[in-house]
């Protein structure tokens, strides 16, 4: 009986595996893209960060500034994304047969996971911003 059940469910398991693999790839692409945006933002603001440090800002405060800006973007994205996902789920339920209700635990856990990915993607540029040498930052444009 177990062999018959396994044979009948192989298509669903294969589809679920592919969906899982593509979701991991999408999460990695989002992390790399977010890292690129934050790193570019920090690179463009090197002069400003150098001035802050020359005026006495601690490296930890500059790193916190960069982390706070990145996490603000993540929280705003989550605040817009979760209601949008709930609204689109209602629209999809009308259009397609068999779509279930919104799973709040899944939506919140995905939002939390994306916030962790954002934190990880912001950490390297934040560390780099905290290590900016004020003299070098002010000397070059």
Q: Is the pLDDT score of 8 beyond 80?
A: no
For residues 128 and 42, the answer to whether their CB atoms sit within 8 Å is yes
CA-to-CA separations, 138 to 31, 42, 69, 131, in angstroms, rounded? 31, 15, 23, 14
26-120-87 Cα angle (round to 5): 45
Residue 25's pLDDT is: 92
For residues 81 and 111, the answer to whether their CB atoms sit within 8 Å is yes
pTM listed for this prediction: 0.68
Residue 114's pLDDT is: 80
State pLDDT tens for residues 9-53.
788 888 888 988 998 898 888 878 878 888 888 888 888 888 888
CA nearest neighbour of 53 among 108, 140, 135? 135
Residue 22's pLDDT is: 92
State pLDDT tens for residues 75-134.
888 889 888 888 887 777 777 666 666 677 777 777 788 888 888 888 888 888 888 787
């Amino acid at each position: 009986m177990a062999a018959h059940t396994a044979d009948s469910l192989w298509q669903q398991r294969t589809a679920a595996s592919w969906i899982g693999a593509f979701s991991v790839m999408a999460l990695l692409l989002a992390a790399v893209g977010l890292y690129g945006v934050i790193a570019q933002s920090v690179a463009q603001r090197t002069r400003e960060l150098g001035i802050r440090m020359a005026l006495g800002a601690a490296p930890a405060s500059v790193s916190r500034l960069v982390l706070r800006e990145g996490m603000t973007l993540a929280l705003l994205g989550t605040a817009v994304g979760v209601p949008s996902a709930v609204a689109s789920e209602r629209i999809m339920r009308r259009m397609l047969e068999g779509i279930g209700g919104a799973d709040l635990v899944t939506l919140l856990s995905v939002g939390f996971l994306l916030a962790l990915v954002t934190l990880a993607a912001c950490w390297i540029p934040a560390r780099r911003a905290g290590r900016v040498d004020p003299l070098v930052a002010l000397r070059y444009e």
